[in-house]
Every structure is written in C-alpha cells, then in structure tokens.
Structure 1
Amino acid sequence: MSYCCGASMIGFIGSFRKQSIMVHKVPLLYCPVCHDVQVHPAVKEEFELVVEYAREDRVREVTLRDTITPEMIDEWKEYGISFQDSEDIEPILREQIDHSLDLLRVSKVLNDKEWGEELKNRLRVLTDQLKKLDKQKEESK
C-alpha cells in the first residue's frame, strides 16, 4: 500500500510527464491531501522503459497501455489502494475518510500523537473536499 500524509493514496488512470515526455494511460497514485502524484509501483519499470525509448526516439507523447482491462485494474487494486475507475470521486473520499478514522484509532492505541495529528489534518482536508463536492452536486440540481 502506498502512503502519503498519514494514510493511503488513491489510484487512477491518467497522464504523467517525465523528462518532457507526456505518457498517457498510466496507472497513477494521487494523494487527495497534498496532491502528490506518483506512478503506480506495478508499472514503474514499464513506465521508465517507455520514457527511455520515447526519449531515444525523440517522441514527445506516448501511451503506456493501448487498452486497460478490468483485470489490470483488479491487479492494481491488489496493492490495497483505493482505485477511482469512474468520474464519481465521492465513494473514494468516503472510503479514504473511513480508512483515516481506522488509522486514527490505531494511532491512539499506539499513543503516536504526531501520526494522529497528521491523520486529523488529512481528515479535515478530506471532509472539506467532500463538503465541496456535496455543494457542487446541490448547485447542479
């Protein structure tokens, strides 16, 4: 599982730029709190090879995978990461909040105040994002 800001990151498929080369259809990890984005560990080596070949061929844009199957997404989910495979982020935010609450309980049992504060901050940010999303849904009705 990939962690950032005290809890897990969200997986999704997107585009990622490295060494002035834009790579599309890349499984990525995203932190909803600090907005850090990383290439998913399951495809990191493949991603690096594609970037290297593109640089050698002087290509500015490439696609990592022509097709992404549900089996691939299931495999990437095995890393224990929430994976956003639709436009609706609300279930992911709720899952992240639940996960953070579980970890907050663990931090209290371990008496780890620093981790607990990181988790509380993460919960504040996730809750604010959920409120904004709810507000947007209300306004669009």
Structure 2
Amino acid sequence: MSYCCGASRIGLIGTLRQQSILVHHVPLLYCPVCHEVEVHPAIKEEFELVIEYAQEDHVKEATLREEISPDMIAEWKEYCVSFQEDDDVESILREQIDHSLDLLRVSKVLSDTEWGDELKVRLKILTERLKKVEQQKESSKK
C-alpha cells in the first residue's frame, strides 16, 4: 500500500501535465489530505518514455495507454486502499475516513499520542472535504 503524510493514497486514472506535456490515461496515486499526485510505480518507466518521445516529437499532448484493461486496474488496485474508477468521490472519502478511524484506534492502543494527533488532523481534513462534496451534491439536486 502507498501512504503519504500517513494517509493511504487513492488510485485513479487521470491526466497529468509534465514538462508542458499533457498525458492522458495515466494511473495515478493521489493523497486526499495533502493533494500530492504521483505516477503509479508500476507504470512510471512507461510514463517517462512517453514524455521523452513527446518532447522529441514536439507534441503537447499524449496518451499513455489507449486501452486500460480490467486486469491492469486490478493490478494497480493492489497498491492502494481505494481506487476511484468513476466520479464517486464521496464513497472514497468515506472509506478513507473509516481507515483513518481504524488507525486512530490502533494509535490509542499503542498509546502513540503524536500519531493520534496526526490522524485527528487528517480526519478533520477528510471530513471537511466530505462535507463539501455532500454540499455540492445537494446543490446540484436543486
């Protein structure tokens, strides 16, 4: 599993800009707390090659994979707790909150107050993001 600032990262397929080149269909790992994004390690070398070829060809946009198979997604899912395949951010945030609550229980059992405090900050951030998503959902229904 991949962690960033103590939170588990979310896997997703997205678009990433690197060196003024926009690359589509890239497996990414995203931290819901600090918003750090990185290319999935299983595909990093291929991504770097696409960037290199695009620079040589003076191309501003490229696609990493024309087709992404369910087997590829299954492999990528093994590296992260959550994998977002659609626009359902709400369920991913709820899953992240549940995971953080489980870790908070562990920190209390271990009497690790520093870790517990870090988890509380993450939970606050995740909860605020969830509230925003819920508000957006409600306002779009009206």
Scaled by the length of structure 2, what TM-score is found? 0.91
**CA positional deviation for 1:98:** 0.7
Q: Is the 8 A contact 2:7 2:33 kept in 1?
A: no
**CA positional deviation for 1:12:** 0.9
Aligned letter for 1:12?
L
Is 1:104 matched up with 2:136? no
Deviations 1:111-133, CA, capped at 9 Å, x for gaps: 33222222111100111111122
Deviations 1:48-103, CA, capped at 9 Å, x for gaps: 11111212222221100001122211110011331100111111011100111111
Match of 1:86 in 2: 86
RMSD of Structure 2 on Structure 1 (CA): 1.4
Report the 3-state secondary structure (helix = DSSP H, G, I; strand = E; otherwise coil) of the residue aligned with 2:128: helix
Report the 3-state secondary structure (helix = DSSP H, G, I; strand = E; otherwise coil) of the residue aligned with 1:55: helix
Aligned letter for 2:66?
D
Residues 80 and 32 of structure 1, relative CA distance in 2, 3 Å threshold: closer
Match of 2:40 in 1: 40
Aligned letter for 2:60?
R
Is 1:53 matched up with 2:53? yes
Q: Is the 8 A contact 1:12 1:30 kept in 2?
A: yes
Deviations 1:7-65, CA, capped at 9 Å, x for gaps: 20111111111122111110111111111111111111111111112122222211000
Aligned letter for 2:127?
T
Q: Flag structure 2 segments of 5+ consecutive residues without an equivalent.
A: none
Percentage of pairs with the same residue = 72
104-113 vs 61-70, greater mean Cα deviation: 104-113
Match of 1:63 in 2: 63
Distance 2:12 2:104 in 1: 25
Structure 1 runs (4+) deviating above 3 angstroms are none
Distance 1:77 1:28 in 2: 11
Distance 1:56 1:111 in 2: 55
Is 1:114 matched up with 2:126? no
104-113 vs 24-33, greater mean Cα deviation: 104-113
Q: Flag structure 1 segments of 5+ consecutive residues without an equivalent.
A: none
> Size of the alignment, in residue pairs?
141
Distance 1:80 1:18 in 2: 23
Q: Is the 8 A contact 1:9 1:30 kept in 2?
A: yes
